[in-house]
Amino acid sequence: MHDPVRTVDRQVWRGSSPAEGTRAIPEETALALTYNGGTYAVMMGTPQDLRDFAVGFSLSEGVISSSADIDSLDIVRLDNGVELRMWLGKPKADRLLERRRHIAGPTGCGLCGIESIAEAMRPAAVIGHGQQFSPEQIMVAMQSLPSRQKLNVETRENSPDEFRAFVGSEMDKWGRVVREANIKLG
């Protein structure tokens, strides 16, 4: 039902003609993380390694301090998503109620503040018919996007690998500065 990878037919426009083939693409589905019956967060994610994801999310959010704090964890697969239902002991559950908040996610999946899978998986709006574009027009439009995206130009938005390389180069550069200045972190 929620396979993590799906193989799809694809057409790639190369030069003046399309090339046919297949491509494996990662699947995402709505994931609802619930504690003691209340939804804490809904986000899009790959439906794989969900137990690890639920425990890791709970640890990184400070909901738990150890996986042993989760009394039970049920993975409930629904038609339009997956609920990761966790039950916490009373002390952790009480603490969670005190600090419950809406989570502003670190990425732009568009689900911040959504509290149910049904809200997350609403049908897409239907756009009027009539306009048709050739493959060439689509390629020209796609190639012109980066220069027209102001935030992309200002922040030099990049892929995870590019970001990792940037962080590595910054660590090297500033690490040298810290070592040469004999700065001690404490």
Which helix (DSSP H) or strand (DSSP E) does residue 95 occupy? helix 90-99
109 is an active site residue:
yes
Q: Is the pLDDT of residue 152 over 70?
A: no
The active-site residue out of 109, 112, 118, 121 is 109
Buried (b) or exposed (e) across 159-180, using 16+ Cβ within 10 A?
A: eeeeeeeeeeeeeeeeeeeeee
Enter the pTM of the model. 0.56
Tell me the average pLDDT across 52-77.
Answer: 91
Answer whether CATH 3.90.1150.10 is correct for domain 29-120.
Answer: no
pLDDT at 181 (0 to 100): 79
Confidence class of residue 53 from pLDDT cuts 50, 70 and 90? very high
The CATH 3.10.20.10 portion of the chain extends over 29-120
Mean pLDDT (the chain) is: 78
